[in-house]
Amino acid sequence: MSPRVLGVRAGDVEDDDFDDFDRASGYSRPRTKTRPDYAKALIGRVLGVDRGRFDVTVGPSLVRAIKARPLGRKSVVVGDEVRLTGDTSGTPDALARIVEVLPRRTLLRRSADDDDPTERPLVANTDQLLIVTAAADPPPRIGMIDRLIVAASVAGVRPVIVVTKTDLASPDDIAAAYEDIGVAVLATRQGGDLAPLRQLLEDHTTVLVGHSGVGKSTLINALIPGAGRSIGHVNDVTGKGRHTSTAAVALPLDEQSWVIDTPGVRSFGLAGVTPDQVVTALGDVAGIVADCPRGCPHLDGSLDCALDAAQADGRLTAARLASLRRILTALGRTDW
């Protein structure tokens, strides 16, 4: 499959118009005087990053680029839409410069741990986060799933759980736990029917995140013939993957859909995320906790926490409450 045509002339894109970045490149609009300095710069999307070099799609071509000095320490991540100057010919030796990162619709980020204020942006402009967990080998870790749900919610990205390796163990426990909090759970296995997953990915930009060895790259290879993502083995003794994938890469699933493979994560810090953000992100409980005392942490035993009342009068199931509190508790934990 040939990569989808993404590039448009910068002059075709207005500030509130970034959703249209993938409009056909022939489109043009009358020029005005309020054009930014880089009006002639091309716009492309970052598909990969490798040691300070960025692979950017511009129209039908793939352009190699570096960050221009004025960007300073501003991060450029996979999924970013960027303006390019310099040699954008895409020939083997050509090197373009990224002069601007367009406003991001979403940004998924993590910190090294919960009390490290340094945030690391992971991917930009995705609208779905596939939380990939294996039913076994490596075993599912609820703490990671919870954290990824929170991170997705805070980023404004829809979280979906995919349980891989269901040939090795049942996905039922995970499904039961998370369907209660309104997160969709899909089960897969190598050689199984990929239609439900494909349907979920259609018309979206989806990033796959999870521990090393859970089968993220295996899924992408199955979805995209020719993707050629390397696959690693899970160590029999430690039960851990080998961190086979070392950088995030965006790949086209079809004309309207992208999937982003990422390296396995060992941890996912949520520094800066507040219990209130979690509660707000989880939608319907937001109305309930409006009745809590100021500063209520909404945990087990929190005095007059309105979540307890909501469970008592049937507005919230016990399972749902337990799940929510597990997430809130996870915010203060780094030992999983």
Ligand X SMILES: Nc1nc2c(ncn2[C@@H]2O[C@H](COP(=O)(O)OP(=O)(O)OP(=O)(O)O)[C@@H](O)[C@H]2O)c(=O)[nH]1
Q: Residues in the site for ligand X, rule: CB under 6 A?
A: 164-165, 167-168, 189-190, 210, 212-218, 231-234, 241-245, 263-264
Give the chain's count of helices (H) and strands (E): 8, 14
Q: Choose among Mg ion, Zn ion, ligand X, none what residue 333 binds, the Cβ cut-off being 5 to 8 Å by kind.
A: none
Number of residues located near Mg ion, criterion CB under 5 A: 4
Does position 296 interact with Zn ion (CB under 5 A)? The reply is yes
Q: Choose among ligand X, Mg ion, Zn ion, none what residue 334 binds, the Cβ cut-off being 5 to 8 Å by kind.
A: none
Output 252 or 263, the one with its CB closest to ligand X: 263
CB atoms within 10 A of CB 53: 12
Output 259 or 296, the one with its CB closest to Mg ion: 259
Measured CA to CA, the distance from residue 205 to residue 129 in angstroms comes to: 9
With the CA atoms of 67, 69, 70 and 76 taken in that order, what torsion angle do they form, in degrees rounded to the nearest 10? 20
Does position 221 interact with Mg ion (CB under 5 A)? The reply is no
Name 114's Cβ contacts closer than 8 Å, sequence gap at least 6: 269, 270, 271, 331, 332, 333, 334
CB 56 within 8 A of CB 98: yes
Does position 298 interact with Zn ion (CB under 5 A)? The reply is yes
Q: Choose among Mg ion, Zn ion, ligand X, none what residue 215 binds, the Cβ cut-off being 5 to 8 Å by kind.
A: ligand X
Among 292, 310, 316, 327, binds Zn ion (CB under 5 A): 292
Measured CA to CA, the distance from residue 112 to residue 64 in angstroms comes to: 29
Output 28 or 190, the one with its CB closest to ligand X: 190
DSSP string for 67-95: E-GGGTT----BT-EEEEEE--S--TT--
Q: Choose among ligand X, Mg ion, Zn ion, none what residue 140 binds, the Cβ cut-off being 5 to 8 Å by kind.
A: none
Output 195 or 290, the one with its CB closest to ligand X: 195
Number of residues located near Zn ion, criterion CB under 5 A: 4
Q: Choose among Zn ion, Mg ion, ligand X, none what residue 292 binds, the Cβ cut-off being 5 to 8 Å by kind.
A: Zn ion
Name 173's Cβ contacts closer than 8 Å, sequence gap at least 6: none
Interface residues toward Mg ion, by CB under 5 A: 216-217, 244-245
Residue ranges that bind Zn ion, judged by CB under 5 A: 292, 296, 298, 305
